[in-house]
Structure 1
Amino acid sequence: MKSKYILTIPQARYFLLKKHGLIDAFKFKDKEGVLAFIKQVGCIQFDPIDVCGKNPELVLQSRIEHFNKEMLSELLYEDRGLVDYFDKNLSIFPIEDWPYFASKRTHYQNYHRSQKEVDQVTNDVLQYIHENTFACSKDIHLREKVNWAWSDTSLGRATLETLYFRGDLVVHHKKGTLKYYALTKDFIDSEILNCPNPNESQQAQIEWHILRRIGAVGMLWNKASDAWLGIDQMKTAQRKSAFETLIRTNKVIELEVEGLEMPFYILEQDQLLLETCLEVFKNSTVTESLLPRVSFLAPLDNLLWDRKLIKALFNFEYKWEIYTPFVERQFGYYVLPILYKDTLVGRIEMVNNKKDKTLEVKKIWYEETFKPDPEFKKHLKLSLKRFADFNKCIKVKMLK
């Protein structure tokens, strides 16, 4: 059966970037825009490494006009409109989505590392937090070493993290990378906390999660992808069955992209956006009329979750080389893709030198097909100034 929509690669790129608010004028603005964007994509992935901003902050600075890091912290730990928990690995998502992850919390209630040792001290730790409102691992004086994820850790830390995984605790606030935990019942509304998972079966949960991930990226195909990470109990057969149901019930729309064999799928509610984007291509030469916007994308940006998709649509290969041995790195330790108009034109490595309040640009690598012109250089400079402000730097220093 032939797809109703057949797109060119530029049209597919334009749709994706419009969906993300990464092209032309900013679609999202201020703290309200942060919440609106995260509700649109479902979740953004968390990573604690901070070279020039943490991953979720980097995702947001590329899309939210006037974004600052305090906005995300306020939404998480003051307004409680967002929560950090597991979705695509450790993520940040709207608090109202908490019920959908009940099965993940149940899994951790039934199994975790060093279970015997943790269970013996659980009630004491919960009582301590009840009496003190919040606690970090330094407050829990259980120094005995137990088996843990990356390496042995203190029983106090293992217990706090287990209770967090199980949903008994939430993050109250952070100081740097140190997490302070509080009782979940004290910080999540009882109506949300007591709401059962709306998905009554494992297959319904998988279908819901596939829709969520399609919305997070913008469009996806029905094949193995890092975009599916964190969807429990989903193997190839379950994914294919879920897609069959979603197609039959018209919850997704199939489209073809010229030159690519596999079809893509978008959310049914994005059909109007797709048609609007296609209409734009009828009336003008889109690529020539785009605003000269330069953005720096996060290493774990939603748009980049499927690297093969990015290669197919943008002809851009990206690998986060943070865990690649130095001698094997092609580029650098913490390198961000550069988006210019509708094209990924290169990579940039920047460091926030907090001592000197300087954004240090270590190196820029451009794609062979891209030659920076005066217009690009002008807007690159403006984006570097904005990125420096985001990192509370007072100047930009080009090292190479």
Structure 2
Amino acid sequence: MHQLTRDQARRIAVQAQLLEADRPDDVVGIAEQLGAIKIDPTATIAPAEHTILWSRIGSTYDRAQLSKAVESDRLLFEFDGAFRPVSLLPLMLPAMRRWPRRESSRQWLEANDRFRREVLARLRAEGPLLASQIPDTADLVRPPDGWYGPNQVVHMLDFLQRQGVVAIVGREGRHRRWDLAERVYPHDLPDYSYADAERMLDERRLQAAGIAKQRSPWTPVGEAGEPAVVEGLRQKYRVDPEALTALESDEGGRAVFLSPYDGLLFDRPRLHELFEFDYVLEQFKPKPQRRYGYFAHPILIGDRFVGTLDAEVDNEREELRVTAVHEFLPFDEDEHATVGAEIADLGRWLGVDVPEW
């Protein structure tokens, strides 16, 4: 049983998310470590997938690197709202073959079997296609729910992707282009049993987290890694042995602005327990109830959350307008300089001016 201080646990989590001083420079390598790079179109600064990569690489990150890795090199693939490394695909396929488990989803697929066959026939003959290019001939309709509109083709494509039958081959703007999975995914993938695949997925989730609670619905890691306790906390944790080794060569921290959809923020209970940070995304709050801003980016310095950045790109003026830097505790001189330098780096990456703020 490893005995860790809270400081060590935080450093493990920060290192596992590649947010230490030694920056990575390879998009595919980052995806391999993180497991998933969240996709979200909200672009007060930039879409989440690009901000997440900029937070690791810095101003040398080129957005074309991501599209090349996905669409040309096929080393990453899009699934369930995130870009993932192809090395995860064989671990996901056994669960995809068992999908769906929910009875209502099975019934919808059964009732729309003719529709399913027509969608697949259209893709086989004409793909890759956008959902809007495929006729909606559904017999049983799922009503709009706030996330999906009335077009049943989108539902069918998402269902077939979860079964491993179709895949996203690329995007036109924010719209996904679909094709048969057999023409998108590699053919020489290893074949794992469901149990072995789940065990390896647990290991990959722990790799990305560094440390996670043993019984966590947010970061399920099962029996991966080794048992650990964190000073001052009663919960039992699992820790990645490689993350423990990395502590010995800790390069120190830096200032980081995190997209609200960054992986370090996802496990909210762990965020509270290890970092003493209760993060609330205010995007969906009425404006009078917002404290930090519509899409404020948390600021991490080293292994501590010290504030939030409320900023937005003004495309007409080609400026990064900083509305506020909210300081949880007053910054010292070094912290002001560090945050200011990171704002300047953000402006360089965006290719816009940063007026005095």
Measured against the shorter chain, the TM-score band is 0.7 to 0.9
User: How far apart in 2 are the matches of 1:395 and 1:117?
Assistant: 55
Per-residue Cα deviation, 1:52-83 (whole angstroms, up to 9, x for no partner) = 22223222211124222221121111111011
With normalisation by structure 2, the TM-score equals: 0.86
CA 274–183 in structure 1, closer or farther in 2 if over 3 Å, else same: same
Distance in 2, Cα, partners of 1:92 & 1:348:
25
CA distances 1:315-348 after superposition (whole Å, capped 9, x unpaired): 2221122233334333222111101233211011
Label 1:210 to 1:116 Cα distance change in 2 as closer, same or farther (>3 A). closer
Q: 1:13-41: per-residue Cα shift (whole Å, max 9, x none)?
A: 22332333322231x11xxx221121123
What residue in structure 1 maps to residue 70 of structure 2? 76
- Normalised by the size of structure 1, how large is the TM-score? 0.78
Question: Which of the residues 257, 275, 280 maps onto 1:319?
Answer: 280
Q: Is the Cα contact below 8 Å between 2:16 and 2:33 reproduced in 1?
A: no
Correspondence list, 1:117-266, <5 A: 118-142=112-136, 146-148=141-143, 150=145, 151-192=148-189, 195-196=190-191, 198-201=192-195, 204-228=196-220, 242-243=222-223, 246=224, 252-266=225-239
Deviation at 1:220, TM superposition (A): 0.7
For the residue of structure 1 that corresponds to 2:131, the secondary structure is coil
Query: Structure 1 residue aligned with 2:307, among 308, 330, 346?
Result: 346
Aligned 8 A contact 2:229 2:237 in 1 = yes
Residue 98 (structure 1) aligned with residue 89 (structure 2): yes
Report the alpha carbon displacement of residue 99 of structure 1 after superposing the two structures with TM: 2.0
SS in 2 for 1:265: strand
Q: What residue is the counterpart of 1:360 in the other structure?
A: 321
Unmatched tracts of structure 2, length 5 or more: none
Q: Which amino acid aligns with 2:34?
A: V
1:46 is matched with which residue? 39
When the two structures are aligned, how many residues end up with a matched partner? 350
How far is 1:307 from its partner?
A: 2.0
- Contact kept? 1:84, 1:91, Cα under 8 Å: yes
Partner AA of 1:100 in structure 2 = L
CA drift at 1:366: 0.8
* Contact in 1 for aligned 2:15/2:243 (Cα 8 Å): no
Matched, 1:394 2:349: no
Q: Would you say 1:328 and 2:313 are equivalent positions?
A: no
Structure 2 counterpart of 1:377, which letter? H
C-alpha contact (below 8 Å) 2:38/2:261 kept by paired residues = yes
Quote the residue 2:343 is aligned against.
384
Query: Residue 148 of structure 1 contacts residue 158 of structure 1 at CA under 8 Å; is this kept in 2?
Result: no
Instruction: Give the one of 1, 8, 12 matched to 1:11.
Output: 8
Partners of 1:328 and 1:218 in 2: CA distance: 34
| Counterpart residue type for residue 245 of structure 2 | L
Distance 1:171 1:314, change over 3 A: same
RMSD (Å) for aligned C-alpha atoms: 2.8
Deviation at 1:186, TM superposition (A): 1.5
1:156 partner letter = V
More displaced stretch, 332-341 vs 114-123: 114-123
C-alpha deviations, 1:346-365, integer Å up to 9, x for none? 01122223333222222221
What amino acid is the match of 1:300? Y
Secondary structure at the aligned position of 1:49 is classed as: coil
Work out whether residues 255 and 300 of structure 2, in 8 Å CA contact, stay in contact via their aligned partners in 1: yes
Amino acid at match of 1:374: E
Residues in 2 aligned to 1:157 and 1:264: alpha-carbon distance in whole angstroms:
39
Whole-angstrom CA distance in 1 between matches of 2:249 and 2:3? 14
Assess if the C-alpha contact under 8 Å between 2:91 and 2:200 holds in 1.
Answer: no
CA gap of 1:263–1:322, structure 2 versus 1, over 3 A, is same
Identical pairs, percent: 21
Question: 1:149 Cα deviation (Å)?
Answer: 6.3
- Matched letter for residue 213 of structure 2: W
TM-superposition CA deviations, 1:283-310 (whole Å, max 9, x none) = xxxxxxx56x321012122222222222
SS at match of 1:322: coil
SS at match of 2:211: coil
Partner SS, residue 3 of structure 2: strand
SS in 2 for 1:74: helix
